[in-house]
Amino acid sequence: MAFRDDSLTTMLGYSALTMSVNRAIQSFGIAAATGEICCVLTGHRAQARRREASE
């Protein structure tokens, strides 16, 4: 659960970069937030598989 909370605040920070007037900063924010979302989804799926395997 803690990794999701940490990742949520990180995603919010990266998403705030998308409001920049600088296009490079906007692109970085989009790429970083997308990467963070992928990491959270992968971690969530791995955790669910571990739970299923232990049952």
pLDDT of residue 46: 84
The values of phi and psi at residue 19, to 5°, are -90, 5
Distance CA(37)–CA(55), nearest Å, equals 28
pLDDT 10s digit of each residue in the chain, 55 long?
566 678 888 989 999 999 999 999 999 999 999 999 998 888 888 888 888 888 7
Distance CA(28)–CA(20), nearest Å, equals 10
Distance CA(33)–CA(18), nearest Å, equals 10
Distance CA(28)–CA(10), nearest Å, equals 13
pTM: 0.77
